[in-house]
Amino acid sequence: MTKVIFMGTPDFAVPVLNTLIKLTDVVLVVTQPDKEVGRNHELSFSPIKKVALENNIKVFQPVKIKNELDEILNTEVDLIVTCAYGQILPEIILNHPKIASINVHASLLPYLRGGAPIHHAIIDGYEKAGVTIMYMAKGMDDGDIISQDETKILDTDNVGNLHDRLSIMGADLLEKTLPSIIDGTNDRIKQDETLVTFAPTIKREEEHIDFKKNGKDIINLIRGLNPWPKANTIINDLEIKILEASFIPGEVSEPNKLVLEKDKMGVTCADGTIYFERIKPFGKKEMNIKDYLNGLHDDISDWRVK
């Protein structure tokens, strides 16, 4: 049976690992180190580590993989398979397996190379998303393409449900593609460098809504950050995270003005008004906007948006 080292960390990679456990002999799982969480600093380990332990697979958690090579290089394998691992692999690791090192990436390469392709697919207004299985190279997501599968991005999609859909698609595509990789009959297509776009990890400042932009872009940002890390705005000097909203186009005198109507709260933007539907006020649980407004006892007519 084909011996595999799997490298991955978040929930997205779990179906891929489960597929490999079903089809191959996974001899080592490499994932990110455990993290301290909560006030009590309890150690929490990755979803991938949990799957590995449940299946009695050896786990390796290097802080910086480029400085901790021996565990991998001393493990004889046919394939290295990565999926959302979170560290750049040195060439000595990429060249280690007998057959190849391959990656399952959540975009239709060469579009959206980088660490947040699902977020950016929605935020940047793409009409479709997908998964790519590719040979790994020393650059970021720039290896030759082996196979791809795509899905339309629906108006009802947010990053959460698109993430879940692509996660299953990635595992299914790997199951279909793996036999041809093992026997060497697969396709190998070079990426068109003229079409490359990037999907860098979302920065904190990028989560803040700029109401000077048009409504479509704002709605895409809200959808593309829900349920994590969530778009936000500052109203009355308090941060409010916006999970769901609607856009009503129309002429406005100026953007960034609070709009208050019966059971409604919104903010004007470049070409209309964004009405909040589901929010998470600072220090409170998620709620719909009607419940939020009903719970206010102060006059909010003079509140300002930042």
Tell me how far apart the 2 most distant CA atoms of the chain are, in Å. Answer: 71
Phi, psi of 64 (to 5 degrees): -130, 110
- pLDDT at 55 > cutoff 80: yes
The pLDDT assigned to 302 comes to 82
Dihedral sign for Cα atoms in the order 66, 67, 73, 77: negative
Q: Mean pLDDT across the stretch 154-171?
A: 98
CB 233 within 8 A of CB 242: yes
CB 159 within 8 A of CB 119: yes
Length of the chain: 306
The pLDDT assigned to 38 comes to 72
Burial of 123 (0-12, 13-18, 19+ CB in 10 A): buried
CB 34 within 8 A of CB 23: no
Residue with tokens 């895409």: 220
* DSSP-derived secondary structure letter, 35: E
Q: d(Cα 80, Cα 18) in Å, to the nearest integer? A: 15
- pLDDT at 29 > cutoff 80: yes
Q: d(Cα 136, Cα 239) in Å, to the nearest integer? A: 41
Who has greater pLDDT, 40 or 230? Answer: 230
pLDDT tier at 165 (50, 70, 90 boundaries)?
A: very high
| pLDDT one-digit tens code per residue, 59-115 | 999 999 999 999 999 999 999 999 999 999 999 999 999 999 999 999 999 999 999
Phi, psi of 275 (to 5 degrees): -100, 125
The pLDDT assigned to 301 comes to 77
Q: SS3 for 239-276, per residue?
A: EEEEEEEEEEECCCCCCCCEEEECCEEEEEECCEEEEE
The pLDDT assigned to 201 comes to 96
Q: d(Cα 176, Cα 179) in Å, to the nearest integer? A: 7
- pLDDT at 270 > cutoff 90: yes
Half-sphere exposure of 206 (CA within 13 A, CB side): 17
The pLDDT assigned to 126 comes to 98
- Tell me which H or E stretch contains 209: none
The pLDDT assigned to 262 comes to 87
pLDDT tier at 30 (50, 70, 90 boundaries)?
A: very high
| pLDDT one-digit tens code per residue, 207-255 | 999 999 999 999 999 999 999 999 999 999 999 999 999 999 999 999 9
Residue with tokens 């406005």: 252
Domains present along the chain, CATH in parentheses: 3-195 (3.40.50.170), 204-294 (3.10.25.10)
The pLDDT assigned to 40 comes to 74
| pLDDT one-digit tens code per residue, 118-144 | 999 999 999 999 999 999 998 899 999
How high is the mean pLDDT of the chain? 96
- Tell me which H or E stretch contains 51: helix 47-54
- pLDDT at 190 > cutoff 80: yes
Q: d(Cα 22, Cα 139) in Å, to the nearest integer? A: 30
The pLDDT > 70 percentage for the chain reads 100
